[in-house]
Amino acid sequence: MSTSLRTEGISLVIPAFNEDRVIAQAIREAETALAGRFREFEVLVVDDGSTDDTTTVVGWALEQAENTRLISHKGNQGYGAALRTGFEAARFPLVAFTDADCQFDLTELGTLAALADEYPIVAGYRLDRKDPWKRRFFSWGYNRMARTLLGTRVRDVDCALKVFRHSTLAQLLPESRGFFVNTEMMTRARQLGVPVIEVPVTHRPRASGESKVSLREIPKTAKRLLNFWWTNVVRGPKAAPVTPPVAVFQERVAVPTGAHGRIAAHLPSSESALPVELPARRPGAA
């Protein structure tokens, strides 16, 4: 077996609701990407009460996907609930998640996982987002609100490509059942003083189907943000004093296998670049 494979295992959670047109491709891409980078991995597809043929298609895909498991909700419980179900079922030291729409290049999980050696949360941000302009506009406004009111400090809080250390994720399990889940977890991380690093990731047009985040969900999520701000920030316990997370600003980051690697990074509140040095890999690690 190739010595370039990471010895630390990873669990990849993929929530799915009515994704029968893309879920087979999502599983195929996930298995291929992880098999080329990790010695141990699992793909956890959480079917959130789909009313189409998602479950059937996953069943067919499992015949060739030996590292994939299907977890099914009896009814539609929401995106956040599906993520939590997957997080609780994950069994490896690293836990990642992505969406079922195939908009991310999952080979980049190798880079994110390498940074997880030093940072408990590695958050992707979409460098060249391939969504319709209305979606990008509302996302820009929402991220501004999240940074201002909740101090999330990340530029793309809802980016669906993140890696967590399992021990850290256990402290951040979301209560939100809907699309507020990312904002909730990143706010909890700030309150607990958990270091976060941002990494630019590739974003692609949706492979097929329709986004589950409709325009009518935007005011609901904004209202949830305001309620969360009032309950957990204004009236809640004061956040721990923490250093703002660093953010990788290079378009592409190559993490070498060897003694040291250096990544140019900066603080979101600063224009100056700071070098982030990756430590020597542990003996025996890929």
pLDDT in tens, 25-64: 999 999 999 999 999 999 999 999 999 999 999 999 999 9
Neighbour tally for 273: CB within 10 Å: 12
What is the CA 190 to chain-centroid distance, rounded?
A: 16
pLDDT digits (tens, 9 = 90+) for 56-104: 999 999 999 999 999 999 999 999 999 999 999 999 999 999 999 999 9
Place of tokens 């994720």: 169
What is the DSSP annotation of 154-169? -S-TT-S-EEEEHHHH
The answer to the question of residue 3 being in a domain is no
The answer to the question of residue 4 being in a domain is no
The answer to the question of residue 283 being in a domain is no
pLDDT digits (tens, 9 = 90+) for 247-262: 453 444 433 333 333 3
DSSP H helical ranges for 116-155: 133-145
**Residue 151 identity:** G
What does the pLDDT read at residue 153? 86
Strands of the sheet with 10-16, listed across from one edge: 68-72, 41-47, 10-16, 94-97, 162-165, 121-126, 196-201, 246-248, 261-266, 273-278
Q: If 0-12 CB within 10 Å is exposed, 13-18 middle and 19+ buried, where does residue 216 land? A: exposed
What does the pLDDT read at residue 265? 40
CATH at residue 162: 3.90.550.10
pLDDT digits (tens, 9 = 90+) for 168-188: 999 999 998 988 999 999 999
How far apart CA 211 and CA 220 sit, in angstroms, is 16
The residue range of the domain holding 39 is 10-278
What does the pLDDT read at residue 156? 95
The answer to the question of residue 247 being in a domain is yes
The answer to the question of residue 285 being in a domain is no
The answer to the question of residue 51 being in a domain is yes
Pairwise pLDDT comparison (206 vs 91), residue with the higher score: 91
The answer to the question of residue 240 being in a domain is yes
* Domain tally, the chain: 1
The answer to the question of residue 105 being in a domain is yes
Geometric angle at alpha carbon 111, from 109 and 115, rounded to 5°: 110
**Which residues, in sequence order, are bridge partners of residue 45?**
14, 70
- For the chain, helix, strand, coil in percent to 5 are 35, 20, 45
Helix (H, G, I), strand (E, B), or coil: what is residue 258? coil
Whether residue 246 is predicted with pLDDT greater than 60 in this model: the reply is no
What average pLDDT score do residues 124-133 get? 89
